[in-house]
Structure 1
Amino acid sequence: MSLPGITEEQIAELLTYATGSSSSQPSLLVGGASDRWYARISGELPKRFGCRTLLVTGVPTTLWSILESFLRNQSFLERLQCPVPRVYGRWPQYGIALIEDFGDIRLVDAISREPKRRNELDENAIDLLVRLHSLPPDPHLSYPARELAFDVEKYQYEFGFHVDTWLIGHHLGVSPTATERRALDGTYRWISETLAAEPFVFTHRDYQSTNLMLRDDGTLGLIDFQDARQGLRQYDLASFIWDSYVSKSDERRYRITQYYRTAAGVTDDPDRFDALLRIAAIQRKLHDAGAFVYTAAHRGKTEYLVWVSDAIGIATDLMIEFHQCHDTGAMLAEWMERKRQAMRE
């Protein structure tokens, strides 16, 4: 069995460390949208691990910083007893780490298999989110979730890269006129400055049903937190409520929002809280749409293109609710409709 970018000798070294023998073979798992890959090690594992399987996760050595961010954030989260995978070993020279295996059942899978438990699972996810948002920064640790922030510069970068380059330019095939460019830039600036002005909390950055694992004990475990940073609390909540992989009715979104406000003890004006939630959702869904296109083009994972239209639809529907970005939302919706018509021809 081969692993991406790893030699047979390196695999043998890893297996000997994990199992005491190089005879077992890791099984490569289907990955997500990132550059990381995963493989499962099973068999007779030493008692020190306290489990029956382990995961190897890796990146090309040139991208070690991605995995290093995961490991540094993991140290912070584990110290505060958050449900994150334990780390058993790391080999930067090979671009790999050995971590705890949370299994194969994601929240999206659990909801599909047991729809009657959906309210319970939603509430469990929000309880965990409230816990994350209450985490105090640790000034004694160096980790990206404390050192990075959703500031204006970050939002502007995402609009430029994901939205302008990949969504509008590559996917929709549009070269905006000078007037359209001014409208886009004005909308980007308004959203960026509005969101960046809010108080910061620990933000997972991709809090959705594919990054929450249902563990053997029935509790949720958190994965893929390498991009965590400081940001407004509505960002993660918007990511969960407008999850690309689990659709939610308006009534369910309202109920989840109210549950979050109560659990987190939020006393902000409800209308203002909801407005910020929707503005965060606009940014998130436009980013999602561009990221799906980028993932398909750059990594060959074309299965993500199926989610682009819905992401744009959510974003433009929300944009039309605000006078600051109403016209830009209508413009994006028109461009998307042209794309659909061209695809039908």
Structure 2
Amino acid sequence: MKPPPAAVEFLQQNGWNDAHISPVAGDASFRRYFRVQDGERVAILMDAPPPHEDPKPFIDIAEYLVGAGFAAPAIFARDLDQGLVLLEDFGDQRMREHLDDHPEDEDAIYRRVIDLLRDLHKAPAAALPPYDEAQYLREVNLLTEWYCPAQQLDVDTEGFEAIWRQILAPVIAGQKPPVTVMRDYHAENIMLLEDGRLGLLDFQDALMGHPAYDLVSMLQDARRDVPDELEENMLGYYLADHDAEAASEFRSHYAILGAQRNTKIIGIFVRLCMRDGKQRYLDFLPRMWSLLEKDLLHPALAPVAKWFDQNIPIGVRSRPMPASKEAK
């Protein structure tokens, strides 16, 4: 992975004249990341090339989070025309790998990430677009737009959207006042910093929405198995200050948003394979179906569960996905 052509000049213009540039792990988007070292100084170079990416939302949310007292990367330099941003380097100690090596820390670290969410939800929401019905529906429709055609399924798309409108209505009513929703709050986007704080990454798609969304993103992690007992314990921990009625309503919204998110991710992972040739994302589909099926057991999701049973039966969900011709 080579740095973009404009990287050297960008770094020189911002005082990193003798910087060594090396690649670091990227994500599912067009963004790429490089570690920059100049003597004792270290930073991360984000390459978010226009028109595919716009780094300004990341910068805006990073500055909001820092201003609210959270650990988001400081912005050292930016060139929005080139899509280049020089960021604070949070190191390599991700929550995911730490827990792989130290499973005994699981309960304590998950309590910390839940504490962070509780603090974030007490802060005034960032000035962001709302997580509204149109956005929720665009996301769940990724299943019928990508997964179903890939599996050669002829499904009731109009009925699917109508059911989701019905199911999401109480969730949308319940996100007032809204909170900042980072939308990708999971173990691979949490850094364990040397000063003891939790570093936040990958929040450029943030919206104003429901407090259950980031909670379900963390506890129903698309890339890491979270034991059912741990999920229940952490959900109970988050709800410790809710009365019984409020906790019951929150759990209902949590299940609905879990089903919404997991439905969306199934569609996204198939799109990454079929459109972008990233076949490795199909490896996550069994976990995603398992999470979705667990959410569909909640009584609030009975109409959605019925639609899935009629349109994508259990046997179809476990059927291997055809590989993309461009898969690599």
TM exceeds 0.5? yes
Does the 8 Å CA contact 2:94/2:188 hold for their aligned counterparts? yes
Distance in 2, matches of 1:133 and 1:276, equals 16
Counterpart for residue 38 of structure 1: 33
| Structure 1 residues 330 and 320: alpha-carbon distance in aligned structure 2, compared to 1, 3 A threshold | farther
1:209-224 map, 5 Å: 209-224=187-202
Counterpart for residue 128 of structure 2: 147
| Structure 1 residues 54 and 343: alpha-carbon distance in aligned structure 2, compared to 1, 3 A threshold | closer
Q: CA RMSD in A?
A: 2.1
Distance in 2, matches of 1:108 and 1:342, equals 27
| Structure 1 residues 64 and 32: alpha-carbon distance in aligned structure 2, compared to 1, 3 A threshold | closer
Match of 1:330 among 309, 314, 320: 309
| Structure 1 residues 93 and 341: alpha-carbon distance in aligned structure 2, compared to 1, 3 A threshold | closer
**2:265 pairs with 1:288:** yes
1:316-327 map, 5 Å: 316-322=293-299, 323-327=302-306
Question: How many residues get paired?
Answer: 317
Counterpart for residue 303 of structure 1: 280
Deviation of residue 19 (structure 1)? 5.0
Q: Which has the higher helix share?
A: 1
Counterpart for residue 186 of structure 2: 208
Q: Quick one: which amino acid aligns to residue 242 of structure 2?
A: V
Counterpart for residue 98 of structure 1: 86
Does the 8 Å CA contact 1:320/1:330 hold for their aligned counterparts? no
Q: Secondary structure at the match of 1:73?
A: helix
Deviation of residue 270 (structure 1)? 2.5
Does the 8 Å CA contact 1:90/1:96 hold for their aligned counterparts? yes
Counterpart for residue 326 of structure 2: none
Distance in 1, matches of 2:137 and 2:16, equals 49
Give TM-score, length-normalised by structure 1: 0.85
Q: Structure 1, residues 104-152: CA drift from partner, whole Å, max 9, x if none?
A: 2221111111111111110111111111111213xxxxxxx52311111
1:76-87 map, 5 Å: 76-87=64-75
Counterpart for residue 165 of structure 2: 189
Match of 1:314 among 284, 291, 307: 291
Deviation of residue 99 (structure 1)? 0.4
Counterpart for residue 27 of structure 1: 22
Deviation of residue 305 (structure 1)? 1.1
* Higher mean C-alpha displacement, 193-202 vs 203-212: 193-202
Counterpart for residue 48 of structure 2: 59
* Structure 1: 4+ residue segments shifted above 6 A: none
Does the 8 Å CA contact 2:255/2:298 hold for their aligned counterparts? no
Distance in 2, matches of 1:328 and 1:260, equals 31
Distance in 2, matches of 1:25 and 1:242, equals 38
Match of 1:14 among 7, 10, 15: 10
Counterpart for residue 146 of structure 2: 166
**2:247 pairs with 1:258:** no
Query: What 5-or-longer segments of structure 2 have no aligned partner?
Result: 323-328
Q: Secondary structure at the match of 2:303?
A: coil
Give TM-score, length-normalised by structure 2: 0.89
| Structure 1 residues 154 and 343: alpha-carbon distance in aligned structure 2, compared to 1, 3 A threshold | closer
Distance in 2, matches of 1:17 and 1:113, equals 41
| Structure 1 residues 153 and 20: alpha-carbon distance in aligned structure 2, compared to 1, 3 A threshold | closer
Does the 8 Å CA contact 2:30/2:53 hold for their aligned counterparts? no
Deviation of residue 193 (structure 1)? 1.9
Q: Secondary structure at the match of 2:269?
A: helix
Q: Quick one: which amino acid aligns to residue 172 of structure 2?
A: A
Deviation of residue 64 (structure 1)? 4.4
Does the 8 Å CA contact 1:214/1:221 hold for their aligned counterparts? yes
Counterpart for residue 74 of structure 1: 62
Distance in 1, matches of 2:116 and 2:311, equals 35
